[in-house]
């Protein structure tokens, strides 16, 4: 059995700054650091011209001043959008960051990063594989191996990432599937990340029995976090950086 994967903190900042800053932005990463968080999670998707950027949705409307599909847009055009005003006017003009800028900021601030590989869904398997390859390759250049963990819901993206690099990988699941062990083994994953609301005590025990790290998302209640820790969960990802301590 492998040595259990170790997270740098028990509480990880979701999408950078959670609800206290616009998600997947440099402002969010700075806010997490200012609040004492040493570990952050964010999403990386490819633009239409294959540039990795921080973005969660397939479309631009919810978190930017733009409209349309991320996977058909050019990175230069996305860089001119406002990705901050939707959260608060204090963040007006905050740009859509490229992955390179976000990774460099993490290194500068000493932040450990869970990089979620987020393929643009309409692109299907081909885009998922390309996203896994490019994000993994860029991560291997930007981070030292101990300071980054790649994760994804997409088996295709994770398999491509494993071919591209030897960085640590986590399998992301909403509900734990019956074949989770096979999926973990296929990419030599060191951890499993699950929806906190759908993980049972027995499932947590089974994951830990395999020597895997276990993180749950998205946990915004300290009592829920403690219950999960008592079940053997190693870390939780939170939007409420004001309610859960990074310690």
The model's pLDDT over 44-67, given as tens digits with 9 standing for 90+, comes to: 999 999 999 999 999 999 999 999
Cβ(70)–Cβ(57) under 8 Å? yes
- Give buried/exposed letters for 205-218 (b at 16+ CB in 10 A, else e): eebbebebbbbbbb
56 is catalytic: yes
Alpha helices in the chain (DSSP H): 26-34, 75-78, 99-109, 124-142, 155-164, 180-186, 201-209, 222-231
**Residue 1 pLDDT exceeds 70:** no
Q: Could you tell me the fold of the domain covering 11-59+100-238?
A: TIM Barrel (3.20.20)
| Catalytic pick among 5, 10, 12, 14 | 14
**Residue 142 pLDDT exceeds 70:** yes
**Residue 151 pLDDT exceeds 80:** yes
Cβ(199)–Cβ(227) under 8 Å? no
14 is catalytic: yes
What is d(CA 202, CA 215) in angstroms, rounded to the nearest whole number? Answer: 15
CB atoms within 10 A of CB 29: 28
pLDDT band for position 208 (cuts 50, 70, 90): very high
Cβ(15)–Cβ(242) under 8 Å? no
| Catalytic pick among 30, 56, 181, 208 | 56
pLDDT band for position 247 (cuts 50, 70, 90): confident
The model's pLDDT over 67-96, given as tens digits with 9 standing for 90+, comes to: 999 999 999 999 999 999 999 999 999 999
């Amino acid at each position: 059995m492998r040595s259990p994967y170790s997270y740098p903190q028990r509480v990880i900042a979701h999408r950078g700054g959670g609800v206290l800053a616009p998600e997947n932005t440099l402002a969010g990463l700075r806010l997490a650091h200012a609040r004492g968080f040493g570990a952050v999670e964010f999403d990386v998707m490819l633009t239409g011209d294959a540039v990795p950027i921080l973005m969660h949705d397939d479309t631009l409307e919810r978190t930017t001043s733009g409209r349309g599909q991320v996977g058909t847009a050019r990175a230069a055009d996305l860089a001119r959008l406002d990705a901050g005003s939707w959260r608060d006017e204090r963040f007006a003009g905050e740009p859509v960051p490229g992955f390179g800028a976000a990774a460099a900021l993490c290194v500068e601030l000493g932040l450990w990063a869970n990089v979620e590989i987020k393929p643009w869904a309409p692109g299907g398997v081909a885009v998922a594989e390309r996203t896994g390859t490019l994000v993994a390759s860029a991560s291997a250049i930007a981070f030292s191996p101990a300071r980054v963990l790649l994760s994804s819901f997409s088996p295709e993206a994770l398999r491509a990432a494993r071919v591209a690099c030897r960085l640590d990988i986590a399998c992301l699941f909403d509900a734990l599937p019956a074949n989770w062990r096979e999926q973990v083994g296929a990419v030599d994953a060191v951890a499993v990340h699950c929806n906190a609301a759908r993980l049972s005590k027995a499932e947590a025990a089974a994951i830990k029995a395999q020597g895997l790290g276990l993180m749950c998302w998205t946990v915004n209640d300290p009592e829920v976090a403690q219950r999960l820790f008592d079940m053997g969960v190693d870390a939780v990802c939170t939007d409420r950086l004001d309610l859960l301590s990074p310690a």
